[in-house]
Structure 1
Amino acid sequence: MAGAVLRGDEELFTGRFVGFVVLAAFLAACGEGESMESFGGPTMGSTYSIKYVRHAGDADSAQVRSEVEGILAEVDQQLSTYRNDSDIERFNALPANSCQTMPASVLELIRVGEQLSAQSEGSYDLTVEPLMNLWGFGPQGREEKVPDAAALAEVMQRVGHQHLHINGDQLCKDAAVEVDFNSIAAGYAVDTIAARLDALGIHDYLAEATGELKAKGKKLDGSPWRIALEEPRDDQQIAERIIDVDGYGVSTSGDYRNYFLQDGRRYSHTFDARTGAPVLHDLASVTVIHPSALMADGLSTLLLILGPERAMDYAEKHDIGAFLVIRADTGFVIRTSPAFERLSGKKTD
């Protein structure tokens, strides 16, 4: 996964699923004592980037960077499925009928996952890591191929949010399930960073991690943070729509950068937990705008799993700001929910 690529006054962020173009103006006039600060680096197998307007008396950039990187290190220690010593991987290694004391943040994310699972009738599920590995997409995946029916049936015995429960500060399981937070971890990290920036008195910023982002306030020249939503292609980057963002998280999930072909059929890394298989529909990508980057992250994945018709029905029923890109014979078709048109370019209360 790539980091930021500069192109004139545009900056392109690529994440786990899709990129965002942030239309920046770094050479704008500024007030006395104001400056545009920016920094970034590697995180969660990809990159992060922070941009903010520093006013006279604000914390210096070294302190802000230290605070942000401390948050990212903590998220990695708690939620990463790519390190054996993380809190969640130690839980995943436990057998059935086991419990483990967990940080409050992990339990919070389990509850969010339970909510999204219930609302999608089980299609979205945090316990799909064994399926990801079986199909070759997970951290222990060996080969990208369609598994045989017996292997799939065995793994499906270890999938399902109903096998998890919280007992005080412990996370417990009654089957050998494995939790994968990749559909919400980056959004959670962005929300946590945004809260820390607010606490430091920084109120004009764009925080991004692995492509998930949240923007608040204005840029140095007083113009809004502008995000370009990419057309879902793996050969080039083309902006489908540009939106203004102030006070919202934005997340895009797509199926076009992590997939394999077998017998003429395309299999992506987006799974329906009810079937144990990658989704096979024409919805190529989903962008969600939400006050919470965590919820934008999870909902973009949930809607992508549901497919074009069910996703739009869900978005309209739950008043979610959703931007759908659907494959068609002539190219791509765009559908947006009423909430997306209302929220894009407008500020939260």
Structure 2
Amino acid sequence: MTLGAAVLLLAVGCLQPPAPIEVTGRTMGTTYSVKFIPPDRDFDAKPLQQEIDKRLVEINQQMSTYIPDSELSRFNQSKAGDWFPVSPQLAEVVQLAKQINHESGGAFDVTVGPLVNLWNFGPDHHPEQVPSDEAIAAALANIGDDKLEVRLDPPALKKSVDGLYVDLSAIAKGYGVDKIAELIAESGRKSYMVEIGGEVRAAGQKPDGSPWRIAIEKPIPGARAIQEVVELSNQSLATSGDYRNFFEVDGQTFSHTIDPKTGRPLAHTLASVSVLHQDCGSADALATTLMVLGPDRGYNWAEEQKLAVLFLIRDKDGPVVRRTSLWPNAGE
């Protein structure tokens, strides 16, 4: 090789964009992953990760039901009647939740917390057992979006019954993804992927010009397998399913998603729902909404709302049936 050729190869190598940087950690009882394209090969990601961790701690302190002194926990412990001051962020999330509740006819209801706890899927752990009809009826008396009010200026929440208990677990991870995505964008990064507990938001492209590719799991309990791959660019993806968080009693399976109308875990054949949306908070909440609505009502509602949705439905003969609404072609 001549000296000129070596110099040319070196120059070409220097023009290659830097590889993505990944930072990871734990938050909201799960893990997070952030990948982004750095401005140069010498970029120090530690200060940015410190900002990510700080922002996630703030969101947890606002919205967690597992932290006794979080804003949400203190609201849940408060008495009915008076406006309870909260952060603008918590008010924003509750307002979005109430909007989706209204649009879905009550299928998405963040006041379902007492039932989540009653069925052993919240912070108030107890032995896995099926609650009595009387206990379910008592919990239902404290549930209902109409019992929860929100205002944005000044930000505050109000409950009409003492027993109201708000659980944001079906929207907070997606909201957290959005806030971290905003943080990454504010740092000047135009290409990134943010994931918290399986909820994802991506922007831009990878260094080779290809979009970020996200795998959707097959709804198989106790196993990890890919159903299909979705290409994401300037979009969010959230999935809700019945195959990860559940318990069994006398051969019957009880999923963690509770129907706010019946007070019981879902009992239909819809195994999982994946939603593509502009923001991840909405995608997260809509995935749960569609799980509650089920394979038929959920599909019809997704079509009405013009949502991009992948439904994976259990057939009575065993295989999973794929049904879509405005869903892009699966990646290879």
* 1:210 to partner: Cα distance: 1.4
- What is the match of residue 169 of structure 1? 155
- Tell me by how many angstroms 1:69 deviates: 1.1
Residue 174 of structure 1 aligns with an amino acid whose one-letter code is S
Structure 2 CA distance for aligned equivalents of residues 305 and 144 of structure 1: 22
Q: Using a 3 Å threshold, how does the CA distance of structure 1 residues 33 and 319 change in structure 2: closer, same or farther?
A: closer
Q: Shift of residue 62 of structure 1?
A: 1.7
Residues 294-348 of structure 1, C-alpha deviation per residue, up to 9 Å, x if partnerless? 11100001001110011111111111110010001131000111x2228x78xxx
One-letter amino acid matched to 1:156: L
Q: 1:116 to 1:32 in 2, by over 3 A?
A: same
- Aligned residues of 2:81 and 2:158 also touching (Cα < 8 A): yes
Give the root-mean-square deviation of aligned CA atoms: 1.8
* CA deviation map 1:28-65 (0-9, x unaligned): x8845634211111111111011111124997412211
Residue number in structure 2 paired with 1:336:
324
Task: Please list the CA deviations of residues 89-112 of structure 1 after superposition, one character each: whole Å capped at 9, or x if unmatched.
Answer: 010011222431000111111111
The answer as to whether partners of 1:41 and 1:48 remain within 8 angstroms in 2 is yes
Pairwise mapping of residues 31-42 of structure 1 onto structure 2 (< 5 A)? 31-32=15-16, 34-42=18-26
How does the TM-score come out when normalised to structure 2?
0.90
Larger Cα-atom Rg: 2
- Please say if residues 58 and 201 of structure 1, whose CA atoms lie closer than 8 Å, have aligned partners that are also in contact: no
The letter of the residue matching 1:331 is: P
Task: Tell me the residue number matched to 2:134.
Answer: 150
Check conservation: 1:35, 1:55, Cα contact below 8 A. Answer: no
Are 1:219 and 2:206 an aligned pair?
yes
**8 Å contact 2:22–2:36 — kept in the other structure?**
yes
Q: What's 2:182 paired with?
A: 195
Specify the alignment match of 1:67 in structure 2.
51
Instruction: Determine the C-alpha separation between the residues in 2 that align with 1:33 and 1:240.
Output: 31
Helix, strand or coil at the partner of 1:54:
coil
Tell me if structure 1 keeps the 8 A contact 2:259–2:266.
Answer: yes
Percent identical among aligned pairs is 38
Residues 58 and 291 (structure 1), Cα distance of their counterparts in 2 relative to 1, 3 Å cut: farther
Runs of 5+ unmatched residues, structure 1:
1-28
The SS at the match of 2:313 is strand
Instruction: Name the structure 2 match of 1:12.
Output: none
Instruction: State which of 94, 107, 124 in structure 1 corresponds to 2:108.
Output: 124
Do the aligned partners of residues 173 and 333 (structure 1) sit closer, same or farther apart at CA in structure 2, a change above 3 Å counting? same
SS in structure 1 opposite 2:83? strand
Q: How many angstroms does 1:199 deviate by?
A: 1.3
Please point out which of 316, 319, 325 is paired with 2:306: 319
Q: 1:15 maps to which residue?
A: none
| 1:12-51 paired onto structure 2 within 5 Å | 31-32=15-16, 34-51=18-35
CA contact (8 A) 2:17 2:207 kept: no
Q: Which has the higher contact order (CA 8 A, sep 6+)?
A: 1
Q: Larger helix proportion, structure 1 or 2? A: 2
Q: Quick one: structure 1 residues 140 and 98, their matched pair in 2 at CA, closer, same or farther if it must change by over 3 Å?
A: farther
2:18 and 2:41 in contact (8 A); partners too: no
Amino acid at match of 2:56: L
| Deviating 4+ runs (over 3 angstroms) | 29-33, 56-60
Q: Closer, same or farther in 2 for the Cα pair 1:232/1:31, shift >3 Å?
A: farther
SS at structure 1 position matched to 2:56? helix
* CA shift digits 1:100-127 (9 cap, x unpaired): 1000111111111111111221121001
State yes or no: 1:237 paired with 2:227: no
Please name the residue that 2:68 is paired with: 84
Change (3 A) 1:102 1:139: same
Counterpart check, 1:286 vs 2:273? yes
Taking the TM superposition and a 5 Å limit, the aligned residue runs for 1:87-126 are 87-126=71-110
Q: Which one of 257, 262, 265 corresponds to residue 270 of structure 1?
A: 257
Q: Which amino acid aligns with 2:34?
A: I
